[in-house]
Chain A
Amino acid sequence: MGAATVRDPLTRLGRAYLTFTPDEDSVAVLFDRVPGLSRRQPVVEQLPALQATVAADFARQRTVSIDGWRLARTEARVAALHALGH
Chain B
Amino acid sequence: MLVDGRAVPDGSVVTADLCIIGSGAAGITIARELAGSTLDVVVLESGALELDTRTQNLYKGQFVGQPVSAELESTRMRYFGGTTNHWAGNCYPLDPADFESKPYVERSGWPFSYEDLEPYYLRAADTCQIGPFRFDWQFGVEKGAQAPPELESHTFRGIARQITEARFGEVYRSTLVDAANIRVLLWSNVVELLTAPDDARRVDAVQVATLAGPKFQVQATAFVLATGGIEVPRVLLASNSRIPKGIGNSHDLVGRCFADHPNVLMALALLRADAPYHTAKTVLVDSAGVPHPVGIAMWLRLRRRALRASQLLSAQISAIDPSVVQAIGITQREWPELFERSAQIDALLATSGAPTAEPRAFLVNMEQEPNLASRVRLARKKDALGMPTVHVDWRLTRDDRVRTFRTARLFAEQVARAGLGRARVVLSGYEAGSAIHTDEQIDNAALDFIVGSNMHHMGTARMHRSPRQGVVDEHCRVHDVKNLFIGGSAVFPTTGASPPTMTIVALATRLADHLRTKVLAA
Total interface residues on B, using CB and 8 Å?
29
| B348 located at the interface, meaning its Cβ lies under 8 Å from any Cβ of chain A in the complex | yes
| B507 located at the interface, meaning its Cβ lies under 8 Å from any Cβ of chain A in the complex | no
Taking a contact as CB atoms closer than 8 A, the residue among B351, B352, B417, B434 that contacts A67 in the complex is B434
| B70 located at the interface, meaning its Cβ lies under 8 Å from any Cβ of chain A in the complex | no
| B28 located at the interface, meaning its Cβ lies under 8 Å from any Cβ of chain A in the complex | no
Min CB–CB distance A58 → chain B (angstroms): 4
Cα(A65)–Cα(B345), bound, Å: 12
Min CB–CB distance A14 → chain B (angstroms): 9
Total of A-B residue pairs, C-beta within 8 Å: 84
Chain B residues closer than 8 Å to A68, beta-carbon distance: 337, 424-426, 433-434
Whether A71 contacts B350 in the complex (CB less than 8 A), given A58-B416, A63-B416, A65-B425, comes out as no
Chain B residues closer than 8 Å to A45, beta-carbon distance: 351
Cα(A50)–Cα(B419), bound, Å: 13
Whether A20 contacts B416 in the complex (CB less than 8 A), given A6-B347, A13-B344, comes out as no
Min CB–CB distance B101 → chain A (angstroms): 28
Interface size on A, as a range, is 20 to 34
Cα(A8)–Cα(B344), bound, Å: 8
Cα(A67)–Cα(B416), bound, Å: 16
Indicate if the CB atoms of A48 and B409 lie closer than 8 Å: no
Chain B residues closer than 8 Å to A9, beta-carbon distance: 342-344, 346-348
6 cross-chain pairs, A with B, having the tightest CB-CB distances, nearest first: A70-B412, A58-B417, A9-B343, A68-B434, A9-B344, A9-B347
A68-B434, A70-B423 given. 7 additional CB < 8 A pairs?
Answer: A6-B351, A48-B353, A55-B419, A58-B417, A59-B417, A65-B425, A71-B416
Task: Show 22 A/B contacts (Cβ-Cβ < 8 Å), sorted by A.
Answer: A1-B347, A5-B347, A9-B344, A12-B344, A47-B351, A47-B352, A58-B416, A63-B413, A63-B416, A64-B437, A65-B436, A65-B437, A67-B344, A68-B337, A68-B426, A68-B433, A69-B424, A70-B413, A70-B415, A71-B348, A71-B416, A79-B348
